[in-house]
Amino acid sequence: MESLQVGSVVYTTRLTKKFRNRPLWKQPDMKRIESIIPGTIQRIMAREGDEVTAGTPLLIVEAMKMRNEVLSTVDGVVKKIHVREGEMVPKSHLLVELG
């Protein structure tokens, strides 16, 4: 037996696997651009130190037979590029850090 709080009361009950494995929400950091789908880094247009505006294409990820442009989320500077051309990345992999 475990416990679960609903409202102000803590109930004694069993938990499910799904519940225990549920993803806990993290505040998204706009300056960290992560991959939304597994794929291959086809081309990196940006360079560290570049000044970019929101919407500037930074790199191209090939996934599901399509070339997906990854755009800058904010105005800023490209602080660090964490991937190389040709690299295969999984989902939620850090691609670019903006500053």
Interface ranges with another protein (CB under 8 A): 1, 4-19, 22-25, 37-38, 64-65, 88, 90
* Rounded Cα–Cα distance for residues 63 and 58 (Å): 16
* Rounded Cα–Cα distance for residues 13 and 34 (Å): 37
In the complex with another protein, the residue whose CB is nearer, 77 or 88, is: 88
Closest approach, Cβ 50 to another protein, in A, equals 29
* Rounded Cα–Cα distance for residues 51 and 49 (Å): 6
In the complex with another protein, the residue whose CB is nearer, 19 or 69, is: 19
Closest approach, Cβ 51 to another protein, in A, equals 34
Closest approach, Cβ 67 to another protein, in A, equals 14
In the complex with another protein, the residue whose CB is nearer, 13 or 53, is: 13
* Rounded Cα–Cα distance for residues 86 and 40 (Å): 6
In the complex with another protein, the residue whose CB is nearer, 19 or 54, is: 19
Is residue 44 within 8 A of residue 92, CB to CB? The reply is no
Closest approach, Cβ 81 to another protein, in A, equals 21
Q: Is 94 exposed, middle or buried (0-12, 13-18, 19+ CB in 10 A)?
A: middle
